[in-house]
């Protein structure tokens, strides 16, 4: 696995890789953030912004100010500042920056970023934030982990009733993740597991809610599926995991 990572997230990513190591996955290479690659086009990045959550159109004609923002973001590592990007389109753009060797499935390229990513859902005709978009490379959004899966319904109900955000955050503390949460490293490790299964089988998810490969849409599901109880991987995927480990020579 090759991880292209933001420098400010190295400690968290190191924790996640530590879990992978404990599960038998030993081969991890680190590379600098893909936004730092020669040939990155700020205008192309600006054109991938989601402007309207209910329109599939992207920012096809970005303003000079938006392009300048992307230039500053690249230079100053200002990721995760509110802009939302089409995850599939961003993966394609970043994929052009990979060398032929890096672009092989066997290299398992993963770009980890604080940026927000989303995908268009044709069933309800709107964009949805995601914690991961699987492709070449796979993109994992750290902000997406804490914001894409929905928080408890009671929080949204409380907001509609006028309760202060600070009260709601304290009352339901522990039922959702934050960027400072000590559980975040383990959750990121589970998403890396999903990525490995995607590259090896074409399917990153599992139908078992207790398995780390469960596709979580709620924070409670994400926390539950990544707590190693009653197991890290369901019996079916545990068997496949051992096969993958053997195949990779870890």
- Segment 82-140, tens digit of pLDDT: 799 999 999 999 999 999 999 998 999 999 999 999 999 998 999 999 999 999 999 99
- Segment 23-40, tens digit of pLDDT: 999 999 999 999 999 999
β-pair partners for 49: 85
- Percent of the chain residues topping a pLDDT of 90: 77
**Nearest CA to 199 among 86, 98, 109?**
109
Listed by start position, the domains of the chain span 2-248
Residue pair 2/102 in contact (Cβ under 8 Å)? The answer is: yes
Can you tell me the distance from the alpha carbon of 151 to that of 175, in angstroms, rounded to the nearest whole number? Answer: 8
Residue pair 172/127 in contact (Cβ under 8 Å)? The answer is: no
Q: What is the CATH number of domain 2-248?
A: 3.40.390.10
């Amino acid at each position: 696995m090759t991880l292209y990572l933001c420098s400010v997230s190295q400690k968290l990513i190191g924790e996640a890789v530590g879990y992978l190591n404990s599960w038998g996955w030993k081969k991890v290479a680190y590379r600098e953030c893909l936004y730092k690659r020669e040939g990155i086009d700020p205008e192309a990045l600006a054109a991938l912004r989601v402007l309207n959550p209910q329109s599939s159109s992207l920012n096809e004609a970005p303003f000079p100010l938006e392009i300048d923002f992307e230039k500053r973001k690249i230079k100053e590592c200002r990721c995760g500042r509110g802009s939302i990007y089409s995850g599939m389109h961003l993966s394609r753009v970043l994929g052009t920056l990979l060398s032929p060797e890096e672009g092989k499935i066997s290299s398992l390229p993963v770009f980890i970023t604080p940026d927000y990513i989303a995908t268009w859902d044709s069933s309800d005709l709107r964009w949805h934030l995601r914690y991961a978009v699987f492709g070449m490379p796979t993109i994992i959004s750290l902000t997406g982990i804490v914001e894409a899966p929905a928080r408890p319904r009671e929080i949204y109900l409380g907001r509609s009733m006028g309760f202060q955000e600070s009260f709601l955050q304290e009352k339901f503390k522990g039922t959702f993740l934050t960027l400072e949460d000590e559980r975040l490293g383990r959750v990121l490790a589970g998403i890396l597991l999903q990525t490995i299964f995607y590259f090896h089988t074409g399917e990153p998810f599992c139908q078992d809610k207790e398995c780390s490969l469960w596709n979580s849409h709620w924070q409670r599901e994400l926390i539950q599926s990544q707590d190693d109880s009653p197991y890290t991987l369901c019996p079916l995927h545990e068997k496949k995991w051992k096969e993958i480990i053997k195949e990779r020579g870890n």
